[in-house]
Each structure stands twice: as structure tokens, then as C-alpha cells.
Amino acid sequence: MSTAETVLLGQVLSFAGDPFTDGIDTARIEGRGAVALGGGKIIAHGSAQIIRAAYPQAQVVDYGTDLISAGFIDAHVHYPQTAIIASWGKRLIDWLNTYTFPEEARFGDAAYAGKIAQTYVGLALAHGTTSFCSYGTIHPVSVDAIFDAALARGMRAWAGKTCMDRNAPDDLRDSAQSAYDDSAALLGKWHGAGRLSYVITPRFSPTSSPDQLAALGALWQQNPTCLMQTHLSEQSDEIAWVKSLFPKARDYLDTYESHGLLGKGGIYGHAIHLEPREIARLREVDASLVHCPTSNTFIGSGLFDMGLAQTIRTGLATDTGGGSSFSMLRTMAAAYEVAQLRGQSLHPAHLWYLATAGSARALHASDQIGNIAVGMEADLTILNLASTPAIAQATSRAENLWQQLFPTIMLGDDRAIRATYVAGVKTT
């Protein structure tokens, strides 16, 4: 056999299927396992004894009883809101006007955008997040900044210029034509550079005119390998606003559908208050939803229906900075709590899937990231399952790995992250 660069030893968690549709037994745990890394990819995994024998010349890093997992994937982020996370607010529209828009106006300054991008990427990696999909601002330099930061660390990342030509401050408006032109130029510059992908990004229907939505729909049709991200049915008063702005639309989703912004590769954040027709159309076109639980509770938006994950691609996200944490562990905990309030009980396997393989599937990257399997990119997170006294005392009573893992989901934070690997390189 060829020589591996590195063999990691520990408890290894992987998925052989989707626990929402195929059962929780598709989550596989190797109690004393190993993952072999070479050329930035996973080249083998299995029992520690077998892998070590197969790669006798490899550098071995023994993480003992720590958990080796695919890195977390944050499927809906506003990196420009990093500095205003945990700001007191009321409802969505108030929060946008009070905090978001004034902060985003600063991102025309390339130096400031670069500073915040570096801060965000550093925080993401420190929390075990190895990939993310982010909104920029209307400023092209905001996209340059986050892609520069991700590229420097070898990360797989998605981002796009946020487009708004109405119902926003004057210094945060573009136009239908400039949104198209700027997005097309950024797409040409960044899409496919390193491990980066451009995402066509109308913020949401209230801040884009029909002409702008149509222009971005045309751009998506011309570039079908790109994803398209936006917001959908986050709050009830937002939905009423959409109805007043688009009186002929059948529902919120129709404001996108009628302008070419519904399809496979469409990533719709929040999606809390969906109508039956919207659910049927999202399922029919194989679109993706992203659950943002800490944001939905922090801003009082509502409770996502996790039952949708059985038939629609569903990822998980912090929604920084409307979300109240950079941690995907905290986000999993909030997802569990939101589901409980809807009478839906999520197993730890469901939660872990959402933060890894589920988000990868939502971003159409499940052949690249989100799981431990041969040929996958070696983005990994190593977790100490006894990172604090509170977690350690709970873990000591565990009878199986799921009982051992659940306290870290519910109580864990960046202290649980022992190490983070990006493309096989240890970064933290």
C-alpha cells in the first residue's frame, strides 16, 4: 500500500446513509478507529489495528477516546454581521435596521471587510467549522475579503454579493443591472478558485425589485453550476410584507419562482412558515432548506418543522450574527430544543448528520465533504467529549457513545474542539 501522510486514532463517527430516512443505525461509530489522510483526502478508515498495519510508515496522531468527525458545515452565515452578534433586538426588520444595515455599510472599506473576514474564519475554525456558505454585502470587496480569508486556509467555502435595490438605506442599494454585473464579475473571478464556489445571492424578496430578481434569475440560468441562496418565510410579519409588495404572488416562494429563482441548487434559509404549495414545490424541484435555530429563537421567528428533513434536503446553520453563537454544537442543541417544542425528538445521530453530511447535501457537496469516507476531502474536527467538568461528570455515566456524545452537543462549546483539520492540514 502507498504511504499515508497521517493516521489519526480515536473514536470515528461516519454515516452510511441518512438517519432521517434510513434510520439512526446508518450512523457508524468505530470505538477504537483510525482515519488515514493523504494528499488532502481521506484514503482509508476503519479499525485502528487494521489501518496502522496497512500504513506502517505513516505519522500517527493518537487522540485516545476523542471523537474524530467530519468537520462542521455552516450552511447559512452572514459573516459581515460577526461584530454585531448577540446585539439586543426586537423582530427581524427592527434588527436589520438597527444593527445589520449600519454595520454592512462599513464593508465598502476593503480593509475593514478583510479584518472581519479574518476574524470570522478564525472563529469558525476554532469552533470546528471547516466549511461555510456566507452572504456578503452589496460591496464586491466584501466577497473578495471572505474568499481571500478562506482561500488562505484552504477551506471549501461558498459566498456571494448580497443584492438589494429597494427597502434598504441608500448606501446599501445597488440596481438590477449592477447586481447582475457585479455578481457575474465575482462569479467569473472566484467560482472554482481553489475550493471556493460563488453563490448568487438576493437577500430576500422585500429588498429586491421584480427587475432585480429577474436579473439574478437570468444569471442563475446562465450559470447552473452555481448555487443560489436567499431567505424564505422567516417571520409572519415578513410574510405579510412580502404579500403587500407582491400582491399577485401565490405565496412567498412564488416571488422567487416567478423570477427564475426556484430550482435544484436553491438554498432557502429559515423556511419556518411554509404553505402546503411551497413545501410541495420545494420537494418537487429538489431544493434545499437551512434550519437556523438559534437565530429563529433569538429573533422570535418561530419553530422549524424538522419533519421536512425526511423529504427535502436540509442543512443546519448558525446564521451569524442573527444567530446567537458561532458554535455548531450550540446550534445542534438549539435544533434539539426547537424540535422538542414541536413534539419531534431528534436523536444525536440526527443532529450530527445535520451539522455535517446533511449540510453538505444541502450545498450539493456530499461527494466532497461532510463525512468520513474514502475519497472525501480531509476536513475533520476532533472533539474532547469531557471538555468541561459539567460534561465530564455526565459523560462518566454514559453506557454507549451516543450517551457520551449528547452532553457535548447540549453543553459544549469551542473548548470541546481538540483540533481542526482542513484538507488534511491541522489548523487549530
Distance separating alpha carbons of residues 185 and 160, to the nearest angstrom:
11
Amino acid found at 359:
S
Supply the pLDDT for residue 86. Answer: 80
Instruction: Give the whole-angstrom CA distance, residue 162 versus residue 150.
Output: 18
Q: How confident is the model at residue 323 (pLDDT cuts 50, 70, 90)?
A: confident
Q: Compute the average pLDDT of residues 5-28.
A: 97
Question: β-pairing, 41-47 with 313-316?
Answer: unpaired
State yes or no: pLDDT of 247 exceeds 50: yes
Scored b (16 or more CB within 10 A) or e, 80-110 reads bbbebbebebeebeebbeebbbebbbbbbee
Q: What is the pLDDT of residue 325?
A: 95
pLDDT at 321: 86
Q: Residue 2 pLDDT more than 50?
A: no
Tell me which residue of 157, 170, 163 sits closest to 197, measured CA to CA. Answer: 157
List domains and CATH numbers for the chain.
Answer: 6-71+370-426 (2.30.40.10), 72-362 (3.20.20.140)
Q: Which residue has the cell 426588520?
A: 93
**What gap in Å lies between CA 193 and CA 296, rounded to an integer?**
33
d(CA 18, CA 371): 11
Return the closest-CA partner of residue 239 out of 266, 278, 284. Answer: 278
- Res 322: pLDDT: 85
Burial class (CB in 10 A: 0-12, 13-18, 19+), 64: exposed
> Exposed, middle or buried, 154 (CB in 10 Å: 0-12/13-18/19+)?
middle
| pLDDT digits 0-9 by tens, 259-316 | 999 999 999 999 999 999 999 999 999 999 999 999 999 888 999 999 999 999 999 9
pLDDT per residue as tens digits for the range 359-387: 999 999 999 999 999 999 999 999 999 99
Q: Is the pLDDT of residue 357 over 70?
A: yes
Q: Does 1 have pLDDT greater than 60? A: no
Is residue 321 left, alpha or beta, with left meaning phi > 0 and alpha meaning psi from -120 to 50? alpha
Cell of residue 240, nine digits: 405579510
106-145 per-position pLDDT tens digit: 999 999 999 999 999 999 999 999 999 999 999 999 999 9
Q: What are phi and psi of 65, to 5 degrees?
A: -95, 5
Residue-level pLDDT at 92:
67
**HEC string of the chain?**
CCCCCEEEEEEEEEECCCHHHHCHHHEEEEEEEEEEEECCEEEEEEEHHHHHHHCCCCEEEEEEEEEEEECEEEEEEEHHHHHHCCCCCCCHHHHHHHHHHHHHHHHHCHHHHHHHHHHHHHHHHHCCEEEEEEECCCCHHHHHHHHHHHHHCCCEEEEECEECCCCCCHHHCCCHHHHHHHHHHHHHHHCCCCCEEEEEEECCHHHCCHHHHHHHHHHHHHCCCCEEEEEECCCHHHHHHHHHHCCCCCCHHHHHHCCCCCCCCEEEEECCCCCHHHHHHHHHHCCEEEECHHHHHHCCCCCCCHHHHHCCEEEECCCCCCCCCCCHHHHHHHHHHHHHHCCCCCCHHHHHHHHHHHHHHHCCCCCCCCCCCCCCECCEEEECCCCCHHHHHHHCCCCCHHHHHHHHHHHCCHHHEEEEEECCEECC
pLDDT band at 339 (very low <50, low <70, confident <90, very high): very high
Examine the pLDDT at 3 and tell me if it is beyond 60.
no
The rounded mean pLDDT for the chain is 96
pLDDT at 4: 65
User: What is the share, in percent, of the chain residues with pLDDT greater than 70?
Assistant: 98
